[in-house]
Amino acid sequence: MNTIRVSVLRAVPPFAQGLVRDLRVRWALEEAALPYSEHVIGPEDQKSQNYRQLQPFGQVPAYQEGDLVLFESAAIVHHIAQRSEALLPSDPASRARVTAWMFAAMNSIEPFVQGLTLIDFAYAQEEWAKLRRPGALEFLQRRLQDLATALGTRSYLEGDRFTAADLLMTTVLRFLRHTDIVAKIPVLERYRLRCEARPAFQRALAAQMAVFARNAA
């Protein structure tokens, strides 16, 4: 089996610790019981030609497995999930539904979550952002309520079993941890906590945080 290597950031501001997208890949690898090594990088690496050959936009994670190089965290998670029934069921119809929810997490939920977090962290002092935030919040709340309705009384998006769709959706919901938006929707708050309680998530989070601790100024 080829060695798996995942690029991770050496340091990020405190508000981003535990949220950087290599967490998704770490979590998927933990769920699939696949060992990996870390490729710890900094800003100078992100700008380098060598790294841009792995990740065209200089972001993390980049994924290397023998001759295979991948970027984009959701694509990497999908690649890992295809190798593990822990993340993607063998039944074709179930696999298709899980894949649809993976796309939903990235396309129907994350852009609106990120829109609000950008307002809160990058543009909070801008007058236009102050005017835009109520509308962005209202739209996001509608999307999250739609998600809660779809989830209903199920434990996970594909019924009673955890899948890669839940992994991605949970990491999206975690971007809102600086707010009480998810906490005000009990169905989603219970869902998030249920997923975060998984031992594989706890190992992945601890591994990411350990890098930041080792490289703290």
Instruction: Return the amino acid letter for 67.
Output: D
**Phi and psi angles of residue 68, each rounded to the nearest 5 degrees, phi first:** -85, 125
> Do 124 and 44 lie in a common domain?
no
> Do 55 and 8 lie in a common domain?
yes
What CATH number did the domain enclosing 113 receive? 1.20.1050.10
> Do 109 and 71 lie in a common domain?
no
Flag whether 215 is in a domain: no
> Do 130 and 154 lie in a common domain?
yes
pLDDT digits (tens, 9 = 90+) for 68-109: 999 999 999 999 999 999 999 999 999 999 999 999 999 999
Residue 1 pLDDT > 90: no
The pLDDT, as a whole number, for residue 217 is 65
Residue 148 pLDDT > 80: yes
Flag whether 205 is in a domain: yes
Flag whether 217 is in a domain: no
> Do 189 and 204 lie in a common domain?
no
> Do 129 and 172 lie in a common domain?
yes
Flag whether 15 is in a domain: yes
- Residue 169, domain extent: 92-198
Flag whether 184 is in a domain: yes
Instruction: Return the amino acid letter for 167.
Output: L
Give the count of domains, the chain: 2
What CATH number did the domain enclosing 13 receive? 3.40.30.10
> Do 60 and 143 lie in a common domain?
no
> Do 188 and 101 lie in a common domain?
yes
Residue 2 pLDDT > 90: no
> Do 104 and 179 lie in a common domain?
yes
pLDDT digits (tens, 9 = 90+) for 7-58: 999 999 999 999 999 999 999 999 999 999 999 999 999 999 999 999 999 9
> Do 96 and 189 lie in a common domain?
yes
pLDDT digits (tens, 9 = 90+) for 157-172: 999 999 999 999 999 9
Contacts of 36 (CB under 8 A, 6+ apart): 3, 4, 5, 6, 26, 29
Distances (CA, A) of 163 to 6, 90, 98, 175, 204: 21, 11, 7, 20, 16
